[in-house]
Amino acid sequence: MYFSLKSEMDHEDQETIERVIHQQRQLSKLIDERQTENCKKVIDELANPQVLTLFPNVLDCYLYPHQQSSPLLHAITKGQPEISLYLLKCGCDPHSDVNQSRYGSLKSSETKMSKSLFRVVEKSGFERVFKKILEKSDKLIVDKNGDTVLHVIVKKKLCSMFEIVIKSRWLPKMIKHVNNQGFLPMHIAAGSNFAQFFQIFYQSLSPLEVLQSNLYPDGQENVSSYMNENYDLKIYIQEACSTLSINTQVLGKKITALHLAASERTLQMVQILLKLGADVNAVDEAGKTPLVECLDQRGDKNISPSSASDLLQVCKVLLQAGANVNVKSNIRYSERRSMANDDILTPLHLAAGIGSRDIVELLLNNGANPSQLSGDIGKIPLQFALEQGHNEAALALLSCDLYPSGFLASHLDYAFNSLLHYADKCSAEVIGKLVNLSCPLDRPNVNHLRPLDKAISSRNTHFVEVLLNTQPRIVNVHLYQDPAAYPPLHLAASSGNVKLCQIILSYGADIYARPYGKHRAYRKAFKFNRFETGIFLCEQMSRPFSISEKEELLMQENTLRVVRPDLAKRLKHRLDEVPTLVLSCLDVIRSEVIKNHLSFKGIETLPVPEAVVKALRYQNIDCLETEQMTTVQIQALSTSIY
């Protein structure tokens, strides 16, 4: 700008330019140094009519390159309200930064973009500056997101700036302006719990006693004082509210203010909106009501006790207002699923997934149907609680009085999962109730997984023992369904849980099994770097290793010398060990027990020492006590087995 001006003016005018630029540089320095009085003197010099004749925009923008485009923005940025006011008083245009060609894509010709108004709105002590800039506006000012200052004020709860806006002539346009996301200021206020917005704007639509009730203990005096001041406030409010409904939806999404307040679990805001006539059963584009929005908390992994309490109170208020407790809504899971992007759930499904027993019982007491199926794979609410390990919620839903006779025992979802398939994270009490309900213990799902397989994968040792003890001829460690899968001992080995491997071996698992021609369990453990589990399984094998197996284990020993020398020593000891006659005989006997009985239940009744029973169950590592067995004892044991 500076060089173009020099080319167009004569020598005398160029000297004036130099002088003006020098004064602007001086003003910039004084603003940085916060010298208010000296700033005013320089501003007076720049506001001289003679200077303004030559340079009409001398107060509106810097004539030389500067970080801030204008002295006003500079003063606002540096926190100088007095200098900002003085610039406005001297004729500074607060919206000189507007560039119509740059912002030509604005939705309305009645709006324009400017930074100064939005720079001021969040600064403390700039209330008078903010008011002055509003008065000087000739169009509605918005930012790049399409927000007016009212959107920003209600989002950040700027009460002092809000008082200025409601007395402004721009109020009717601001309150009805939709931003780029389709939100009105009303929607932003509902989501941010800015109750003052509704106290003021809906006096013309609701009784004054509603706004002066105990819902607003801090705002009773303010409500009356606003209306009694000598402004055209009442006219502005009535004009602003004349075409605006409390149930106005977000453009393109059909979300109402009540949806937004419910999703934030703000009890006060929900109560306000219901008092003002909000539709408690309004549905958005996915069919979600405010009650569903309130319960749809999938982003919260763990809900704190205080948050759960807020959730319960909001649910109570919505249900008292007549919310539909059995409404079905599309719930999107795109953030964690790739194949099925949504599900159709009821409020009870969502409450069970959250795990709050109080909310589950509240919904049940208000008529929620616990037998409704989800739209994805046909799960009932109880399965949601079981899947997340929410024991208290599951116990509330396990009452047989809630369902038709035999429903829980026979229920399978579309993937053929029984209730026990989902119980791998649950407590002993919940598992016991499911077993007592006669749920199928060994039924495979579409992936050929039994409840036992799920329990092993989750390392739930109690669940594993319950399943193996209940019906050992049906649920055992030898029968498995999927030709592409591994038997229970292999699953336990890959989990790295030694205790789980001990339990499964004690119930008769074949440690030498090669399912479908695949590898033994110890190799599965080493494959997943479960070194301790792999060594334990090797130590339990009394048969000699083949040449190829021994070579592989020697390589594993070399690796362990670096990372786990203690385990390397144990593996070397096992490789150097020569199986004894007693151990070989016990191995043969054990194989016969498995073949004839499929389990080791009742093995304690055999007329043999306790050490032998432990050896058969693979519960002792060294088997030292069994070395003392005689040939006669072994023969007697064989006779008992056969």
Q: Dump pLDDT digits (tens) for 485-521.
A: 678 889 899 989 999 998 888 887 888 888 776 788 9
Co-location of 73 and 201 in the same domain = no
pLDDT score of 364: 97
In a domain, 108, yes or no: no
Give the pLDDT band of residue 167 (cuts 50, 70, 90): confident
Mean pLDDT of 595-604: 63
Q: Exposed, middle or buried, 613 (CB in 10 Å: 0-12/13-18/19+)?
A: middle
Q: What is the pLDDT of residues 212-254, one digit of tens each?
A: 444 444 444 454 444 444 445 566 666 666 667 889 999 888 8
Per-residue pLDDT tens over the stretch 440-458: 888 888 888 889 989 998 9
What sign does the CA torsion over 550, 551, 556, 558 have? Answer: positive
Q: What is the pLDDT of residue 427?
A: 94
Same domain, 189 and 244: yes
The pLDDT of 136-165, averaged and rounded, is 91
**Distance between CA atoms of 31 and 25, rounded to whole angstroms?**
10
**What CATH number should be reported for the domain holding residue 159?**
1.25.40
Is 331 part of a structural domain of the chain?
yes
Q: State which of 241, 265, 289 marks the end of a domain.
A: 265
183 in the same domain as 312: no
Quote the CA–CA distance of 382 and 387 in Å, as a whole number: 9
Which of 383, 412, 440 is the C-terminal boundary of a domain?
Answer: 440
pLDDT band at 86 (very low <50, low <70, confident <90, very high): very high
Mean pLDDT on 201-213: 46
**What are the φ/ψ torsions at residue 140 (nearest 5 degrees)?**
-70, 125
Q: Are residues 199 and 76 in the same domain?
A: no
Assigned token pair, 351? 């409450």
- Do the domain assignments include residue 446? no
| 334 and 435 housed in the same domain | yes
**Taking every pair of C-alpha atoms in the chain, what is the biggest distance, in angstroms?**
128
Do both 300 and 241 map to the same domain?
Answer: no
* Beta pairing partners, 342: 332
pLDDT (average), residues 528-554 = 90
Give pLDDT, residue 132: 92
Together in a domain, 252 and 294: no
Sign of the dihedral through C-alpha 26, 28, 32, 34: positive
Question: What is the SS3 string spanning 259-277?
Answer: HHHHHCCCHHHHHHHHHCC
Higher pLDDT, 261 or 574: 261
Dihedrals phi, psi of 292, to nearest 5 degrees:
-65, -40
Number of other residues whose CB lies within 10 A of the CB of residue 160:
12
Contact (CB, 8 A) for 349 and 374: yes
302 and 252: one domain?
Answer: no
Q: Are strands 111-113 and 140-142 parallel, antiparallel or unpaired?
A: parallel
- Give the pLDDT of residue 113: 81
Residue that finishes a domain, picked among 440, 464, 480: 440
Whether residue 101 has pLDDT greater than 50: no
The one-letter amino acid code at 525 reads A
Question: Which pLDDT belongs to residue 1?
Answer: 45
- Tell me, yes or no, whether 322 lies in a domain: yes
Residue (of 325, 317, 313, 314) closest to 366 by Cα position:
325
Domain count within the chain: 4
Comparing 143 with 200, the larger pLDDT belongs to 143
Q: In the prediction, which pLDDT does 433 show?
A: 94
Residue 421: pLDDT over 60: yes
Based on the domain organization, do 296 and 429 belong to the same domain?
Answer: yes
| CA pair distance 29, 39, nearest whole angstrom | 9
Measure the CA angle with vertex 21, ends 20 and 23; round to 5°: 65
Identify the residue with better confidence: 340 or 171.
171
Give the per-residue pLDDT at 183: 95
Q: What is the pLDDT of residues 607-641, one digit of tens each?
A: 666 766 666 666 444 444 444 455 555 555 555 55
Q: Are residues 301 and 255 in the same domain?
A: no
Q: Which of 12-21, 97-106, 546-555 has the highest mean pLDDT?
A: 546-555
Residue 429 lies in a domain: yes
**129 lies in a domain?**
no
First to last CA, the chain: 107
> Are 293 and 213 found together in one domain?
no
Q: 46 versus 514: which is more confidently predicted?
A: 46
pTM, full prediction:
0.79
Is the residue at 481 inside a domain?
A: no
Q: Per-residue pLDDT averaged across 17-33, rounded?
A: 90
Looking at the structure, do residues 534 and 634 belong to the same domain, yes or no?
yes
User: What is the pLDDT, as a whole number, of residue 434?
Assistant: 94
What local confidence, expressed as pLDDT, does residue 216 receive? 43
More confident residue, 188 or 55: 188
Q: Indicate the DSSP class of residue 331.
A: E
Query: What CATH code is carried by the domain that includes residue 396?
Result: 1.25.40.20
Q: Which domain holds residue 149?
A: 143-265
Assigned domain for 271 exists: no
For tokens 């200077």, name the residue: 51
What confidence score (pLDDT) does residue 300 get? Answer: 56
CA-nearest of 482, 480, 490 to 511 is 490
Which pLDDT score, from 0 to 100, does residue 276 have? 87
| Amino acid at position 50, single letter | Q
pLDDT, tens digit, 9 for 90 and up, residues 341-359: 568 899 999 999 999 999 9
**pLDDT, averaged across the chain:** 81
